[in-house]
Structure 1
């Protein structure tokens, strides 16, 4: 006997079959046992199976639980004052001179007590969960010293242990250069490589290492050193690449078989070709594009032409993407970047799972996978990328249980 049988629903399984790329199954039923999916099929096909609980979904559309594969969810304070300054005409340099920018977030994060840090992150996490997320990646990166970065990762772990959501922690090892290392860049990179990465690997606090490879952040050579160290310690890599300029970050990420390269507004064809060869996922972040009022879009047509899979994420962070709605991120990807509704849903399910290296466990509705799913009160799955301000799912299920 199964634990649960979800009936009276339609399913978007995200399993390509028989010319049906989204794996749409009308009049579906989904069997769950021990937190895992055991069968997905037509209700008539599963009519002979018994379950301890039969759950009618009243004609809802069921999708895999949404996956936000790029967030900076743990930080102290916020930067709403900077938003007001930008609206009044202040430049990035003006804000930095006034003590704003990432420096202010680093200071607020270091000053936050453990209780405050987890409480503020929990509020943001709850918003993503209410929007349909069952898996959320959380990066460090606002500590800028080993102890503070480890504290951020421990906060992410605590959230995962106390909430009905899967947390995937990422060490954003090279995010910004601390002010006290302005004249000692090599020393800072050495500290990250020699102290931080070994400690995080030993404590198993993260599954991947990230960096911000950009003219205002870290060079390809510094990123190359970082990725050498990460892979030597058994950690996967991913990269903030080509957001503001083309630094060759996408090709560098592909060289290390990176899980993903994220942003990509300025990526060129060589970088895309390298990503295609490596199977690196392109993570598109329309929230940052919107908040920064950028005009150069990621080359979506070229990504399609090379067969590079595209994921979508909120990039929730205090400075450049204060976005807390996964479905709004999907709408932005459709409206601003031209993705189709099908691409948007794949971008926050199966392709987002691939961007985190967890697609064997989540991201689609298939036998053997975790029973993470959302039931939506919609008439068609395209509505998920259509509505602006769509309410969350009517039912969110994690490991087979209502959450």
Structure 2
């Protein structure tokens, strides 16, 4: 394994301990403090609004600042955003929105540079292995971190640590998160990564294959907002506490981690569609069980399916995206960051529509209706990704060999 890839994997492995806290417990904290699912959805929408804005800013900064510096800044900013959130006395829409924008900016710097570094340090033949190993790390941390943090918060609540003030418990978790972001920022500077040579990255006309990839990104984005907000809301509504949230994530994570490691080691590029399809089928199953039962058991089944679906989807999706970028960037002779930046807007459209659907259902029909049926709608629409992804893969290899 090349040194660049090793340094990137170690950095991401450390930061992987931060992501579960951000993705799971920030939503649970907002839900506990506000008792309003719409506030959670608004937070997530502002996060997703901050991401593409920062992708744009990052594109300009890459011509002046080292990519490793921008990458580490994004990780540090995520810890700062959590500190801002935990310092708010009252969770108003405005306060949550500001914290959400800050978190979105941190994700923007993190994901834009992470994707570019992964693209430049891997090729199509080793991307299954790279993303399998990386997703394996993420899955392991999604087992350990929710269980440990959930147990800590649940114990603090039951034994009335911090005088019964749960905000203090969340603040302790946030301090640990901030220390981890500092450590991961130090590691990424152990290697000298190259910035893109071509500075221009803003374009509005693209190859037909890339436009199809953007449609696939939009479909992926539809589910992303729900994967962050829905588990926290459902657990707090139907099950009861953060300890249950951590336990539910951990149970399915053990199986997923082992499966991902094996898939990364043994699968080839031609197997990606099968993995992709299996993930979507599992997600649909989880949403149907949740919608039909709408009980604590149904929520647990949904969370288990969600933990299985997300890494299976990602281990197939990211190599497909990278392969298309490799092919189209050579045809159009453009900076690869052009496509990473543009791809984020495809995701944003899907995220906006998905979260907008949830907010509309919760506002104009009922919260229960939104939690039951919006997930099913999203999962059914997601099935359109399968034939589209198969077509994109075939076209990309055809163009590569022509």
TM-score interval for Structure 1 and Structure 2 normalised by the shorter chain:
under 0.3
Q: Taking CA–CA contacts closer than 8 Å with sequence separation of 6 or more, which of the two structures ends up with the larger relative contact order?
A: 2
Question: Which is richer in strand?
Answer: 1
Q: Provide TM-score, normalisation by structure 1.
A: 0.24
Q: TM-score scaled by structure 2?
A: 0.24
Which protein is richer in helix relative to its size? Answer: 2
